[in-house]
Each structure stands twice: as C-alpha cells, then as structure tokens.
C-alpha cells in the first residue's frame, strides 16, 4: 500500500538539492541511483552549498524556506476549503479512502498504511458508520528488522484503539540493499475486521461513490 514507494525519496531528494547537495551526495544518502536523482531534481536550480560551519551561519536555503512557506499556505487554504466535515462528507471521505487503500477481496475489511493519520481516520470512520464488535478487530505490524517491535505495537495500538493483545503475528521485513534506507520507525499497520457483511456494505459505498455524478453534465 505504498510502503515501499519512492515518494518519500523523491521529496527528500528535491529538498536536499534545494539545499545545495550534489546529485552523487543525494544518491548516496538515499540509496537510489544518480539517474533517479537527476530525473527528480532536474528543474531545481543548483547552488553549491558552503562548508557546514559557514552554512549554519547563513541559515536555510531560500528555496527551502519558500517551499515550507508554500506548503503552510496551501495547508491553510485546504482547511478553509474543506471546513468541518459533516456526516455525509465524512461518510464519502472514508469510502474514498478505502477505495484507494483498502482490500477489495471478499470476506474481511482490510486497510493498510504507514501514515498514522490515515489509519486513525479510517478506524474512526469504520466505528462511526458500522456496528463493530471490538473483539474481532485485529492489527498486524509490518516492520523492518532492527526496529523496536514493542514500541511500534504500542504506537499502533494507540492510533487504532485496538489492544496489543489483539494484534496478530508481526511481519519483520529484511532490508533490501539499494531499495530503501529511510525506514518508517513504526512500520506499516494492517487493520483487519473480519466481517463479510461489513465489507460488502463498504464496497457498496465505494461503488456508489465511483458511479456518482458530482455535477450536472458529468
């Protein structure tokens, strides 16, 4: 579900390039090829960074500050445009989230993500719109070897509201050289609720959402 994707590496590469790192330095730090770094950052004007002691005196690179300012501005704009979700909007938002990140296989509701905010949103949505037997809620943690499993399970228990005693056997991934170096500290959580009827009800919402016409003439 995006856990092994390159989105994070791309964003970090662009940030480092904006701070004046060479493509070779970026490729080495992120564990990716130099050609990938070139593809991701070719539109960023390169200004070689000074030595660390001098760079500290100068402060952050202007492009980095501009990026942060734009993100903050657009975050505020997003909040203003969405406002507070009413019940109908919350229902539709959860269906859309499951359409993108949830399992479509019959028999159980499965949702996986490494983003704690998304997992918390999904669990709140599931409990709000469906009658849930909490005893049947399960969580499985996907975590790289070398990271603290107890800490990760406690973290996801707090996020999902599912007791650690109801967690399934965790999957410990062996890091693959050259694929990913910046691992998620808490791994990825797989939330499962085994109920065929609930899964069918969710898929009914998904199909209704995808077949709806958001405006006249669609």
31 compared with 52, residue with greater pLDDT? 31
Condensed to tens digits (0 to 9), the pLDDT of residues 97-107 reads 999 999 999 99
Choice among 141-145, 155-159, 196-200 with the minimum mean pLDDT: 141-145
Q: What is the pLDDT of residue 44?
A: 83
Q: What is the pLDDT of residue 62?
A: 84
What are the sequence ranges of the domains in the chain?
A: 7-82, 87-211
pLDDT at residue 4 above 50? no
pLDDT band at 1 (very low <50, low <70, confident <90, very high): very low
Rounded Cα distance between 21 and 44, Å, is 11
63 compared with 88, residue with greater pLDDT? 88
Q: What is the pLDDT of residue 91?
A: 97
Q: What is the pLDDT of residue 34?
A: 84
Average pLDDT, the chain: 86
Share of the chain above pLDDT 90, in %: 55
pLDDT band at 183 (very low <50, low <70, confident <90, very high): low
Q: What is the pLDDT of residue 50?
A: 63
Choice among 1-10, 80-89, 117-126, 141-150 with the minimum mean pLDDT: 1-10
Q: Does pTM surpass 0.85?
A: no
Mean pLDDT of 92-99: 96
Q: What is the pLDDT of residue 179?
A: 47
Q: What is the pLDDT of residue 194?
A: 95
Q: Which residues are within 8 A (CB) of 125 and not within 5 positions of it... i.e. 6 or more apart? A: 90, 91, 93, 94, 97
pLDDT at residue 90 above 50? yes
pLDDT band at 147 (very low <50, low <70, confident <90, very high): confident
């Amino acid at each position: 579900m995006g856990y092994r994707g390159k989105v994070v590496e791309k964003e970090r590469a662009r940030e480092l390039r904006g701070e004046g790192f060479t493509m070779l330095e970026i490729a080495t730090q992120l564990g990716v090829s130099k050609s990938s770094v070139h593809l991701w950052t070719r539109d960023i004007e390169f200004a070689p960074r000074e030595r660390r002691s001098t760079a500290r005196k100068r402060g952050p690179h202007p492009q980095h500050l501009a990026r942060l300012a734009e993100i903050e501005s657009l975050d505020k704009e997003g909040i203003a445009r969405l406002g507070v979700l009413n019940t109908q909007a919350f229902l539709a938002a959860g269906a859309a989230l499951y359409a993108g990140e949830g399992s479509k296989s019959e028999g159980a509701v499965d949702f996986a993500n490494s983003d704690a905010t998304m997992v918390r949103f999904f669990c709140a949505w599931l409990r709000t719109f469906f009658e849930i037997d909490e005893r049947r809620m399960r969580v499985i943690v996907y975590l790289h070897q070398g990271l603290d499993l107890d800490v990760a399970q406690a973290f996801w228990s707090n996020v999902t509201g599912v007791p650690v005693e109801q967690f399934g056997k965790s999957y410990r991934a062996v890091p693959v050289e050259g694929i990913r170096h910046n691992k998620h500290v808490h791994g990825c959580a797989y939330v499962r609720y085994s109920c065929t009827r609930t899964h069918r009800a969710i898929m009914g919402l998904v199909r209704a959402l995808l077949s709806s016409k958001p405006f006249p003439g669609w």
